[in-house]
Structure 1
């Protein structure tokens, strides 16, 4: 600290008792300038700066406090007392400090996200680094806009539990679909949970990520997924038992072929087709039903590609499923082109995530 600053600091501190708002504002700015103009300060001096600046700021209007917050937001040596006070101020003041200050500890941030509203939570969510502990509270208390900010931040670390909660919420909110699928650190099994609720271009991105997934990570993800998949996906159709027995007879006789599935579809044997499709691809009945009832033809393409079925056979399934659509043939051919572009490796990896349901049901 320079001799000039040393001699001036006691006077500046004494002026903190000044009752004039204008003089106190000028003093606040002068103290701030002195702080940033001083290279070597003692711990005691830092404490004095922090205490006096915080005291002066309390009596200033929000615009002045916001100016102070902006100046100190990125300072690595900013007084902790002042920064903590600003972090708990109204959102317009707190935001730059919450988003940028390296002085704030996890304890400070946890105090903020537990007590304050969404604007404060969003500011914390945008920090260069957010710990799992802080993220857990944000996921629990944040609204969907806040959750989107957190998911968009690759510097935010999410625990497994927080990631599961985030995906569960994202599945029901299209505004969160892209940011969730785009999150680099999202566990692969949770990424694949998004497949059936997102639009086609995001499904394609999921397939691409599955194709690039390291085999060791794939096994880890599958193990994590099996531990959480629920076994109750809805009731079975009334003719399920009868159809299952018939399909099992065909299978035992070696007659359960992909061509037989096409016959089921053409003849209106929907339940038989679903059971046969589930058996052919080794997925659970409810996943097969979801694919067919929602006409998820890109998902059907994954199943057929994994089973190494001919494109013409997939096209047959697509045309029959779309038979009441006025543009059925054109749409089916568009999916056929997608089928040709889909790699079997990507299809097989994706199918392994869908098969987790079957494994979970067998263990239940």
Structure 2
């Protein structure tokens, strides 16, 4: 534009563009300096160079950033400020570090977990030797694709809390259950809760792996029963633990108050139709709380019926009686025993009495041992964020029952 305000017919010369070759060379040289061994460069010099490199990388293109990332992936320990920048970069840039860098700090990885995308988190889940804290950060995002990769990684370390969080996630991502069942970190408290929303195959695995005998406990504390009895069972903590360990399952005190002469008679009466009152009576006679009984009778799979019958010493016929009382199909159109009933009867035939008692008592303990008003309120509101405030049985109750209160 001339001074007279007229447009010049000749375009003004453009500012010279930066020489791409010089910038690429400079980035390479700075990366080389950062990667020098400690015998050639001290910590302050390395930090200064990393700061300069970070400033250049902020305006560099993806190809240039990727080249620097690949160079740094060979470094035993990249400067934190540089690693965090590149780990949170676009996937082509971050992939080199996430897949090839053997040593990245937990803090840098957690920063990537929190500020990068799901594909970044999947790559972190694939890394060798993922620590518990990094795994916890990945699990907290509740992304099934990431958790699936994490569970397939045999070198990852899962914390107790991390496993509990995955158990909760499996309610809506049941394809994760078989992978979680493979993990050595899974404990009975986790498996027995997850049982309620597992399919038939997973339930069979849970019963085979976690339905353990209590014989070693019974031998260890055999004399304590007499001590507790002599003291009038006044200590509630001891009483609760001994109730879990003892061999007897049926509640003798409940039989004395029952309108039925035995549990067998109550189950026979249930064949005509299970009412709420009759379900509660069977629960009391079986030595479990009504809430546990309700969970057993309303379970669609039916396997808990087999556990209840086997644990209480009821004959095989009682499984059919309860099945009939719940108005469930006994035979198919061809007159063959219904597949669901056949599966439940197989469970009855294959599980030992003592192991069935372990499962039943664990359910009863985990579902009802500590249902405080605060826990009940949390269950009704679906407040799983408050799960850390509760003990292991309380958390189990929240996980297993929260959906029931929503109905």
TM over 0.5: yes
Aligned residue in 2 for 1:359: 369
Q: Does 1:20 align with 2:19?
A: yes
Match of 2:393 in 1: none
Secondary structure, aligned partner of 1:185: coil
For 1:335, the equivalent position in structure 2 comes to 344
Which residue is equivalent to 1:260?
266
> Do 2:109 and 2:124's aligned partners in 1 also have CA atoms closer than 8 Å?
yes
Q: Which runs of 5+ in 1 are unaligned?
A: 1-17, 217-222, 227-246
**For residues 20-75 of structure 1, what are the alpha-carbon distances to aligned partners after superposition, in whole Å with 9 as ceiling and x for unaligned?**
22454466567768988979643367557755665665554324533543454364
Q: Which residue of 1 aligns with 2:314?
A: 309
SS in 1 for 2:338: helix
Partners of 1:269 and 1:191 lie apart in 2 by: 28
Question: Could you tell me which residue of structure 2 aligns to residue 231 of structure 1?
Answer: none
String of CA shifts for 1:297-346, please: whole Å, max 9, x gaps. 21211222222332333244335545446527232234323322223343
Secondary structure at the residue paired with 1:329? Answer: coil
Q: Give the Cα separation in 2 of the matches to 1:256 and 1:249.
A: 6
Kept in 2: contact 1:21–1:60 (CA 8 A):
no
Q: 2:299 aligns with which of 247, 271, 294?
A: 294
Q: Which whole-Å CA distance do the structure 2 matches of 1:175 and 1:63 have between them?
A: 38
Query: Of residues 257, 278, 284 in structure 1, which corresponds to 2:283?
Result: 278
- Which structure 2 residues correspond to residues 122-201 of structure 1 after superposition, within 5 A? 122-201=122-201
Name the CA distance, whole Å, in 2 between partners of 1:144 and 1:210: 25
Q: In the alignment, which residue of structure 2 is the partner of 1:203?
A: 203
Which structure has the bigger radius of gyration? Answer: 2
SS at match of 1:122: helix
SS at match of 1:183: coil
Corresponding residue for residue 41 of structure 2: 42
Q: TM-score, normalised by structure 2?
A: 0.63
Contact 1:130 1:157 in 2 (8 A): yes
- CA contact 1:283–1:355 (8 Å) conserved in 2: yes
Provide, for residues 216-243 of structure 1, a one-character-per-residue CA deviation record: whole Å limited to 9, x for no partner. Answer: 8xxxxxx9xx9xxxxxxxxxxxxxxxxx
Which residue pairs with 2:392 in the alignment?
A: none
- Residues 65-120 of structure 1, C-alpha deviations (whole Å, 9 max, x = no match): 33543454364244555433311212332134245534432332333333333333
Residues 206 and 72 (structure 1), Cα distance of their counterparts in 2 relative to 1, 3 Å cut:
farther
Residues 71, 97 of structure 1: CA spacing in aligned structure 2 closer, same or farther, 3 A cutoff?
Answer: same
Structure 1 residue 210 displacement after superposition: 1.0
Unaligned runs of 5+ residues in structure 2 are 1-16, 218-236, 241-252, 376-407
1:40-79 matched pairs, under 5 angstroms: 41-43=40-42, 47=47, 50=50, 54=54, 57-70=57-70, 72-73=72-73, 75-79=75-79
| Alignment size in residue pairs | 318
Greater share of helix: 1
Change (3 A) 1:212 1:152: farther
Distance 1:110 1:36 in 2: 23
Two-structure CA RMSD over aligned residues (Å): 4.0
Hey, what's the Cα distance between the residues in 1 that align with 2:314 and 2:96?
Answer: 56
The residue that corresponds to 1:348 in the other structure is 357
Structure 2 CA distance for partners of 1:196 and 1:98, relative to 1, 3 Å? same
